[in-house]
Amino acid sequence: MKKGVLGILIILTLALAPLSFVLAKVVTNTPTGLKAAGINLGAAAGPTGLVGDLSTATGTVVQGVLAVVGTIFFIMMVYAGILWTSARGNDDQVGKAKNIITAAIIGLVITLGAYAITIFVSNRLGGQ
């Protein structure tokens, strides 16, 4: 049995060995170093739509973070509302719902305040 498996591996190796050779074409007038890296990076990032300056990339990240924060705020408010409406006079559950609503609003205010400070500082530093 081992001879059969070994024979199959040798035959496959001999059959597939010619496919492993690659003839590389040498181009003499291609840029090297950082220029080549920039060209290659631009070519790779071009189809993704992420090519842009730092402020555009930062804006995209901030937009994503604010979308996540808004979604979390919405989910917490809906959860607290469901807790409150299903409390049926249970003061502990109403208190828990009020605490969740308060925490969600405080978190949203802190996040939006940080966003406003970031926009203010970046506009002052950027000169816009």
Q: 45 or 102: whose pLDDT is higher? A: 102
Nearest 5°: CA angle at 32, between 51 and 58?
Answer: 20
Distance CA 96, CA 81 (A): 11
The yes-or-no verdict on residue 8 having pLDDT over 80 is no
List C-alpha distances in Å: 16 to 5, 9, 21: 16, 10, 10
What is the per-residue pLDDT for 59? 75
Q: How confident is the model at residue 65 (pLDDT cuts 50, 70, 90)?
A: confident
